[in-house]
Amino acid sequence: MRADISPQSPELPIPAATLDELLRAWGLMRLPFTNDDKPTPLFPVPTHKEITELLDYTAALRSVMLLTGDPGTGKSSLIKTWIHSLEPKRYLPLLITQASLSATGVLEILLAKLGLRPGFKRSTNLITLEKHLADIDPMTLILILDDAQNYPAPALEEIRLLLGLGGRSRSAFALILLGDCYLLDTLRLSVQRALYSRIGARAALGPIPRADIPAFLHWQVARAGLDRDIFAPAALDLLAEASHGNPRTLNLLSQAAWLAAARSSSLTILPEHLHIALRQVPAALSLAK
């Protein structure tokens, strides 16, 4: 009798679950620990209320405000949420993120964001801007510079000069400078003393206190559609220590740990899942140094 030597079909590997399948297994409506592009309510901490009030006063007085904090503490998120709350008939907020602008470039991009065509001469552009500000008065222009610590000195000096445009009794617009913790020291330098002397308010965003981290994580999970604690106590302690309370790092580590847990069919984030996340997220390592 002839032996059957036909090749056997090899066992096919089980395909990895898709992200949508992992979300459904957890009962989540969307990916947790991530921010939408749309302005969303911020996790409530006392400093946010205080800073928002200072922003309101700065806009109303057409003053200059400094908002500093380490990367990831939520400066941009706070500002975008605040912008969304402004009365459109009273305020015209403009957020500029191009920190490499020259002095000439500042005026040109300001005009472009206002829907105006920049000219080739600075004098012409100044007249155009002054006329536009007069046309929209009493509406207040709010100029917001992100990563202000990266702006070259000539660009910041140009902005200071623009504050006095038209020789008015008060500034031509409100100015809000967002930057890292070194921004204040940068403005203290002699080359920036004139702008430094105009600062009417200063605020700083810090890390989330250790006692508030569980509530922050629960809030993030609830936004994704799940109303329960998902971290084992030991994993939560490890996360708090590794992140130092930095909101962005908390989210990055939590999301990576959640993915590790979901892929291992666990409905709880355990310390081993956090260790996987720690190997994947460089920000946690830099904070630990």
Residue 150, domain CATH: 3.40.50.300
On whether the CB atoms of residues 43 and 50 are closer than 8 A, the answer is: no
What's the whole-model pTM score?
0.86
Phi, then psi, of 99 in degrees rounded to 5: -75, -10
Same domain, yes or no, for 260 and 128?
A: no
Q: How many domains does the chain have?
A: 2
CA angle 279, 285, 288 (to 5 degrees): 140
Residue of 94, 85, 64 whose CA lies nearest to 177: 64
What is the maximum alpha-carbon separation in the chain?
A: 108
Same domain, yes or no, for 53 and 140?
A: yes
Phi, then psi, of 95 in degrees rounded to 5: -100, 120
Same domain, yes or no, for 269 and 149?
A: no
pLDDT at 287: 53
Residue 123 placed within a domain: yes
Same domain, yes or no, for 230 and 284?
A: yes
pLDDT at 9: 39
* Distance separating alpha carbons of residues 89 and 138, to the nearest angstrom: 9
Edge-to-edge order in the sheet of strand 140-145:
91-96, 140-145, 174-179, 64-69, 199-205
Residue-level pLDDT, tens digit, the chain, 289 residues: 444 444 443 444 445 789 999 999 999 999 999 876 666 678 888 899 999 999 999 999 999 999 999 999 999 999 999 999 999 999 999 999 877 778 888 899 999 999 999 888 999 999 999 999 999 989 999 999 999 998 988 999 999 999 998 766 789 999 999 999 989 888 888 778 899 999 999 999 999 999 999 999 999 999 999 999 999 999 999 999 999 999 999 999 999 999 999 999 999 999 999 999 999 998 876 554 4
Which of the listed residues 180, 205, 230 is the one where a domain comes to its end?
Answer: 205
Which of the listed residues 145, 172, 205 is the one where a domain comes to its end?
Answer: 205
pLDDT at 41: 73
pLDDT at 97: 87
Which of the listed residues 184, 205, 226 is the one where a domain comes to its end?
Answer: 205
pLDDT at 37: 60
User: What range does the domain containing 255 cover?
Assistant: 19-31+209-288
